[in-house]
Structure 1
Amino acid sequence: MRNKGRIAALLLAAALIALAVSACGKNGGKSGELRTVKFSEVIRSIFYAPHYVAMSRGFFEDEGLNVDMNTAQGSDKGAAALIAGTADISLVGPETTIYIFNQKGEKTLKAFHQLTDKDGSFLLSREQLDDFEWSDLSGKTVLGWRPGSAPQMVLNSMLIKEGTEGVNVITNIASPALAGAFASGQGDFIQLFEPVASTLVQEGRAHYVASLGEAFGEFPETSYVATSDYIKNHPDVIQSFVNAVAKGAEWLNTASDDDIAKALAPFFEGTSDELILQSVNRYKNQGTWPTHPELTQGQFDTLQNVLVENGVLKDAERVANMDDIVDMSFVHKLGKTE
């Protein structure tokens, strides 16, 4: 009887150890509770699908992280949240790191993961246009994004590139109100992200005419950014965050349509599976999500050229050393075992 009791005790102990090991595995090998990361996204868009996949599929939890997400509605607000300490990590335009660096304040920001390398907006028209040319915008009104934002600057640089003049771009309508303003009769064209763009088209209120991402080409539109101090003090959190998002992007490339729609649906209530998948495929087809999410020197040069061209950065204010505001060391460790 004593032996049976001893064996039972050993079996119970083994079971408890197995449960503990399993729990560690779910937390990426990290012991203890999940670490909460205060996260701010610039807007809600399928443009950032890999991030939502990482949340819904549990990739962040696998890495030991709990992501507490809010939507800032602007890169300026997302950057301000980092400086104020109300966010640990923000998904914003990397130009914010340049602006903060040039202010020479107590805090600097660094981009550590390049989520997208194309603009994510699409140009829609009120009237059907069979053969759109950029010159069709001359004398027309476009509902666009706030001054200094990445989509606004990409559109303006595109107009400069095409030599299109006389375009009235409205930039004082808040992004959540853009689609409603167009639906109510304002503007001849509108610049929107997915899934709002496809929703407006499906409702018969607009017609698709062009992808700014395809037309403009490679552009580092949105990066994960944190303060230099946070990155220095929490390198394990940053690495875990990068790992999780990279898993999300990889999963998107192989998952079935049903699984993709199921993963993204909680973040886009009221949007049909059909529109979710159409939006994902539209971004996939234009090469939005890089296989290796690194902000390269070439992309950084393109970014600064666009900022100068749009008058938000003086030529003398260019950041000479990209490493001052970019740290891709965590991306370089992807796929490598410790």
Structure 2
Amino acid sequence: MNRVGKMSGWLIAVALMLIVASCGGSSGGNSSPSASPSGSASAAPSADPSASPSASATPQELTKVRFSEVIRSIFYAPHYVAMSQGFFAKQGLEIDMNTSQGSDKGAAALLAGTGDVSLIGPETAIYIYNQKGEKTLKVFYQLTMKDGSFLLSREPVESFEWSDLAGKKVIGWRPGSSPQMVMASMLKQEQVEGTEVVTNIAATAMTGAFTSGQGDYIQQFEPVASTLIQEGQAYYAASLADFGEYPETGYVATSDYIAEHPDVIQKFVNAVAEGTEWLNTASDDEIVQALKPFFEGTPDDLILQSIKRYQEQNTWPASPVLTAESLETLQNVLIENGVLKSEEKLSDVSAIADMSFVDKIGQGG
């Protein structure tokens, strides 16, 4: 699909989302608490995971934050830890979470005013900025600095080489999404030709399509990737984190919301930072217990294995800053994938990011 086609589709999707949101009323709360990257029951929480003993015992009135994550994945473990361990509640926040299944949907909720904070790809903020509309989005905390997907094969692979994908079919992510663009750039970087990457299957249907016989490979996040491997339906081939540092997902809000609620943003940032730090020192059992409510049905060993994989890849940066260098990497990928023109490239990271809250982590409040 050419650039105009991709962007037109994206803009139409956002426009439709805004219309739906303006007619829908409420933010939906936990309307999709069971959503997961694959749509399988193994990644579905059955209750409100934020209702932890530490959270419910906090003797203060909580400020509700309407929050949407792009997908449900252990890739975002620091956020779930901040909920289950009561770090948000300690900051005086109540997180009303839903799973949007797409950065475009998460952005649409923010622009329509039916959401406050979204965890989405920073490229979305660039798209919105270049539209020169009334509202803009800003990243205020960069949660992940690697792509979090893994390439799995249908048949065992002894020593995978990216050239093995020549002439093969890969079940991948939607056009314009970060995992899709990282995959495309990885194939170009490795000079692999003739690979068919299927991008028209909904995120919730990808695993079902693969297990029913479609594709030679599938690109999936944890814990779905490890679940498929444990069930004998796929084999590990490679990690897309091999692409290198890439600012895949960050917390985003409208510039207006940030200006009007700087205290909420700071408390939000403090809670996630505490969740990230907690993961570095908690025991294996503590980590499993903290994440289980969000991934009901996923075996304990797979939850822990998923965490270890992401930690080994330095997924969660010690300094959660969207830097000028990170923005450069992101925009080069966008240009390479035809969703951003060279003349639209931003030279100033402050156009789509406000890292002042990250700078104040640990200063109290």
Tell me the CA shift for residue 320 of structure 1. Answer: 2.1
Q: In the alignment, which of 8, 29, 46 is matched to residue 74 of structure 2?
A: 46
Question: Does the Cα contact within 8 Å between 1:47 and 1:193 map onto a contact in 2?
Answer: yes
Question: Does the Cα contact within 8 Å between 2:145 and 2:248 map onto a contact in 1?
Answer: yes
| Cα separation, 1, equivalents of 2:223 and 2:274 | 22
| Cα separation, 2, equivalents of 1:223 and 1:98 | 13
Task: Please give the root-mean-square deviation of Cα atoms over the aligned residues, in Å.
Answer: 1.2
Kindly provide the amino acid, as one letter, of the partner of residue 293 in structure 2: P
- For residue 246 of structure 2, give the secondary structure of its aligned residue in structure 1: coil
1:115 matched to 2:143? The reply is yes
**Per-residue displacement from partner, 1:87-124 (whole Å, max 9, x unpaired)?**
10000000000000011111000000000000000000
| Cα separation, 1, equivalents of 2:350 and 2:58 | 34
Aligned residue in 2 for 1:35: 63
Q: In the alignment, which of 95, 109, 113 is matched to residue 85 of structure 1?
A: 113
| Cα separation, 1, equivalents of 2:294 and 2:268 | 19
- For residue 208 of structure 1, give the secondary structure of its aligned residue in structure 2: strand
- For residue 38 of structure 1, give the secondary structure of its aligned residue in structure 2: strand
Summarize the alignment of residues 149-168 of structure 1 with structure 2, pairs less than 5 Å apart.
149-168=177-196
Kindly provide the amino acid, as one letter, of the partner of residue 251 in structure 2: Y
| Cα separation, 1, equivalents of 2:111 and 2:294 | 27
- For residue 238 of structure 1, give the secondary structure of its aligned residue in structure 2: helix
Tell me the CA shift for residue 26 of structure 1. Answer: 4.3
**So what's the TM-score if we normalise by structure 1?**
0.90
Q: In the alignment, which of 155, 166, 182 is matched to residue 210 of structure 2?
A: 182
| Cα separation, 2, equivalents of 1:132 and 1:325 | 38
**Per-residue displacement from partner, 1:151-205 (whole Å, max 9, x unpaired)?**
0000000000000000000000011111111000000000000000000000000
Summarize the alignment of residues 270-309 of structure 1 with structure 2, pairs less than 5 Å apart.
270-309=297-336
* Greater mean deviation of Cα atoms: 54-63 or 291-300: 291-300
Tell me the CA shift for residue 272 of structure 1. Answer: 0.7
| Cα separation, 1, equivalents of 2:205 and 2:297 | 17
Identity, % of aligned pairs? 69
Kindly provide the amino acid, as one letter, of the partner of residue 262 in structure 2: P
- For residue 170 of structure 2, give the secondary structure of its aligned residue in structure 1: strand
Aligned residue in 2 for 1:237: 264
Aligned residue in 1 for 2:95: 67
Q: Which has the larger radius of gyration?
A: 1
Q: In the alignment, which of 73, 83, 94 is matched to residue 122 of structure 2?
A: 94
Kindly provide the amino acid, as one letter, of the partner of residue 173 in structure 1: I
1:247 matched to 2:274? The reply is yes
Kindly provide the amino acid, as one letter, of the partner of residue 227 in structure 2: T
| Cα separation, 1, equivalents of 2:82 and 2:199 | 33
**Per-residue displacement from partner, 1:117-140 (whole Å, max 9, x unpaired)?**
000000000011101110100000
**So what's the TM-score if we normalise by structure 2?**
0.84
Aligned residue in 2 for 1:221: 248
Question: Does the Cα contact within 8 Å between 2:324 and 2:348 map onto a contact in 1?
Answer: no
1:135 matched to 2:163? The reply is yes
| Cα separation, 2, equivalents of 1:69 and 1:274 | 26
| Cα separation, 1, equivalents of 2:364 and 2:278 | 20
Equivalent pairs counted in the alignment come to: 310
| Cα separation, 2, equivalents of 1:176 and 1:200 | 14
Tell me the CA shift for residue 337 of structure 1. Answer: 4.2
Gap runs ≥5 in structure 2: 1-54
1:320 matched to 2:347? The reply is yes
Kindly provide the amino acid, as one letter, of the partner of residue 338 in structure 2: G
| Cα separation, 1, equivalents of 2:189 and 2:86 | 43
Gap runs ≥5 in structure 1: 1-22
| Cα separation, 2, equivalents of 1:212 and 1:86 | 33
Runs of 4+ in 1 over 2 A off after TM superposition: none
Kindly provide the amino acid, as one letter, of the partner of residue 198 in structure 1: S
Question: Does the Cα contact within 8 Å between 1:26 and 1:63 map onto a contact in 2?
Answer: no
